[in-house]
Chains A and B, each alone.
Chain A
């Protein structure tokens, strides 16, 4: 299953970044597909991006809401919130596991051999504060004399933007190197920190900082596709713990907001068929005991 998930992540990466004319145009894609929000975190100022980043688009809409209203345009970002809500109520954080380019990057970085560390669980709450403050409240409330706010998350935090847009744009348009500010270097430090952290810990950005992950996490009780624990079959052997890339102890909290439905616990952890994939409450897949049983001495990569 991990093999298919990796290839699906690659496929989504190429679909969301399918504008390959940028080396010739030296600019970003400006076609109609940009009206579609990419399900995962993918900067829409990336030269190859063919879709919009939902988090960036929400901030842009909210920071200019006063100006829009003054011009008689009643924009409320409902199109974007609605689109994210539709995705969240169907897939929840499955999108983080299967369709987020930045999540995929972290998965790949974590494969680099090194000593591995856990991430304190308390840090998971940080991303909800980042979602509320930097995506909704601050762009709406801290405004200039002209009534314009700032895209706080994109401007001050987003490492995906630095990697996918900031660095490529500096390469495509070398004249921009003269106007690089301290802000860019501070964002570069954030990017490097997350790259190093991703090598030694699994998905640190998703677990601690990502506002999109926080949004999808809100749907933990209201998503159609989810993993369910059959408590009658669970032996509490805890084999589902070490395989989870998000640090979820599935048999202890099967409805965890961190679960990205990567299915590793179902296929690589549980030997007793106690974990089941359900769509809309209907069980669709549960590997049988023989299929998941590990051979003696088989190692599981955390």
Chain B
């Protein structure tokens, strides 16, 4: 059922892209953006959902 090919080439591009976004994510953390996300997420934005 499972077949492992004898020759394969590890894909580096996803790792590079992943590293770039990890850096962005870390910068966001250092800027305390998660607390802003929480602030927003705790409120119901009525106009966003078409009410009010």
- The interface of chain A, by Cβ under 8 A from chain B, is 27-28, 30, 32, 34-35, 37, 43-45, 52, 56-57, 60-61, 68, 73-86, 88-90, 150-151, 154-155, 161-162, 165-166, 169-170, 176, 179-181, 183-184, 186-188, 219, 221-224, 273, 276, 278, 280-288, 291
Q: How many residues of B contact A (CB 8 A)?
A: 44
Closest residue of chain A to B22 (Cβ to Cβ) is A86
Residue of A57, A85, A165, A181 touching B40 (CB-CB under 8 A): A57
- The interface of chain B, by Cβ under 8 A from chain A, is 1-5, 8-11, 13-18, 20-29, 31-34, 36-38, 40-42, 44-52
Q: Considering the complex of A and B, which 4 residue pairs feature the smallest CB-CB distances, nearest first?
A: A79-B28, A82-B25, A85-B21, A281-B11
Residue of B5, B32, B33 touching A283 (CB-CB under 8 A): B5
What residues on A are CB-neighbors of B38 within 8 Å?
Answer: 32, 34-35
Given known A-B contacts A78-B31, A80-B33, A83-B25, A166 and B50 have beta carbons under 8 A apart: yes
What residues on B are CB-neighbors of A32 within 8 Å?
Answer: 38
Closest residue of chain B to A167 (Cβ to Cβ) is B49
Complex Cα spacing A165 to B51, Å:
10
> Are B28 and A78 closer than 8 Å at their CB atoms?
yes
Report how many A-B pairs have Cβ atoms within 8 Å: 178
> Are A79 and B25 closer than 8 Å at their CB atoms?
yes
CB distance from A7 to the nearest CB of B (A): 21
Closest residue of chain B to A30 (Cβ to Cβ) is B42
> Are A283 and B3 closer than 8 Å at their CB atoms?
yes
Complex Cα spacing A161 to B47, Å:
11
What residues on B are CB-neighbors of A282 within 8 Å?
Answer: 8, 10
> Are B51 and A60 closer than 8 Å at their CB atoms?
no
Residue of A35, A60, A90, A161 touching B34 (CB-CB under 8 A): A35
Given known A-B contacts A78-B25, A79-B31, A221-B13, A86 and B50 have beta carbons under 8 A apart: no
25 contacts between A and B (CB under 8 A): A27-B44, A30-B42, A34-B38, A34-B41, A44-B41, A57-B41, A60-B40, A76-B27, A78-B27, A79-B31, A79-B34, A81-B21, A82-B21, A85-B20, A85-B24, A86-B25, A89-B17, A89-B18, A169-B46, A176-B46, A179-B52, A181-B51, A184-B50, A186-B50, A224-B15
CB distance from A292 to the nearest CB of B (A): 11
Residue of B24, B29, B33, B44 touching A61 (CB-CB under 8 A): B33
Given known A-B contacts A283-B4, A283-B8, A77 and B33 have beta carbons under 8 A apart: yes
> Are B36 and A68 closer than 8 Å at their CB atoms?
yes
Complex Cα spacing A49 to B22, Å:
26
> Are A155 and B48 closer than 8 Å at their CB atoms?
yes
CB distance from B39 to the nearest CB of A (A): 9
CB distance from A184 to the nearest CB of B (A): 4
> Are B28 and A181 closer than 8 Å at their CB atoms?
no
Given known A-B contacts A89-B21, A291-B1, A79 and B37 have beta carbons under 8 A apart: yes
> Are B51 and A169 closer than 8 Å at their CB atoms?
yes
CB distance from A224 to the nearest CB of B (A): 4
> Are A179 and B51 closer than 8 Å at their CB atoms?
yes
Complex Cα spacing A27 to B27, Å:
32
Closest residue of chain A to B52 (Cβ to Cβ) is A179
> Are B48 and A151 closer than 8 Å at their CB atoms?
yes
Residue of B17, B31, B37, B44 touching A74 (CB-CB under 8 A): B31
